[in-house]
Amino acid sequence: MSKGRAEAVAGASGILLRYLQEQNRPYSAQDVFGNLQREHGLGKAAVVKALDQLAQQGKIKEKMYGKQKIYFADQEQFDMVSDADLQALDAKIVALTAKVQGLQQSCRHMEAGRTGQPPEELKELTSALTTPEMQKEIQELKKECAGYTERLKNIKAATNHVTPEEKEQVYRERQRYCKEWRKRKRMATELSDAILEGYPKSKKQFFEEVGIETDEDYNLKLPDP
């Protein structure tokens, strides 16, 4: 690789890594090239080479879909998001959108200079805010709402969500391990009780001499079935 091409690839790597992390969704090399070529003037060959290098370095992930290679940000760097978090974000977006629409409608009423008795909610707004203040709050709410919308879009586009099947599999394995734990603890208890019937010392002394460690020694408790 020539020195000029190597520098182009090195420069593209930082741009592409940042772009994939910010967007957090899968792209082909052609998609990335099309999205960034105009803004950054990246050549397609440099884009392809930089993506391959980032994948080899483990900074991004790649997958083959048919004959096409797809690149995306390493999901290990992102926090896991539960269904409850997604629902909370959805609810917040809806609430902010409704508030923005209400303020916009109030502003239109004020700017139109309508005569007559204004509605009660408009009276409250006009007594608290002037039109410039309303416009400023609208812009702030729009920005906040856009931020939540973008975050929700990125979360929904992520590839590390746990499927219902995977969740059910985890629950089944947990139940199996707890069942085995409970079974073995019962067997150990029955065996030690049988030995202690003819043992001249206390249960604690027996455990210490034999080297038995119990769940209680480590503050462990069997989960509820």
User: pLDDT (tens digit, 9 = 90+) per residue, 7-23?
Assistant: 556 678 888 888 888 88
Q: What is the DSSP letter of 72?
A: E
Are the C-beta atoms of 161 and 82 separated by less than 8 Å? no
Cβ-based burial of 109 (10 A; exposed 0-12, middle 13-18, buried ≥19): middle
User: What are the b/e assignments for 194-215, b being 16+ CB within 10 Å?
Assistant: eeeeeeeeeeeeeeeeeeeeee
pTM here? 0.36
List the domain boundaries for the chain: 1-73, 87-121, 130-161, 164-218
User: pLDDT (tens digit, 9 = 90+) per residue, 87-104?
Assistant: 777 788 888 888 888 777
CATH architecture of 1-73: Orthogonal Bundle (1.10)
Per-residue pLDDT of the chain (225 residues; tens, 9 = 90+): 444 455 556 678 888 888 888 888 888 888 888 888 888 788 888 888 889 988 898 888 888 877 888 898 887 766 666 777 777 777 888 888 888 887 777 776 665 654 444 455 545 544 444 566 667 777 777 777 777 777 777 777 766 666 677 778 888 888 888 888 888 888 888 888 888 887 788 888 888 887 888 888 778 787 776
The pLDDT score that the predictor gives to residue 134 is 65
Count of CB atoms situated within 10 Å of the CB of 175: 12
Give dist(CA 13, CA 32) in Å, integer.
12
User: pLDDT (tens digit, 9 = 90+) per residue, 57-88?
Assistant: 888 888 887 788 889 888 776 666 677 777 77
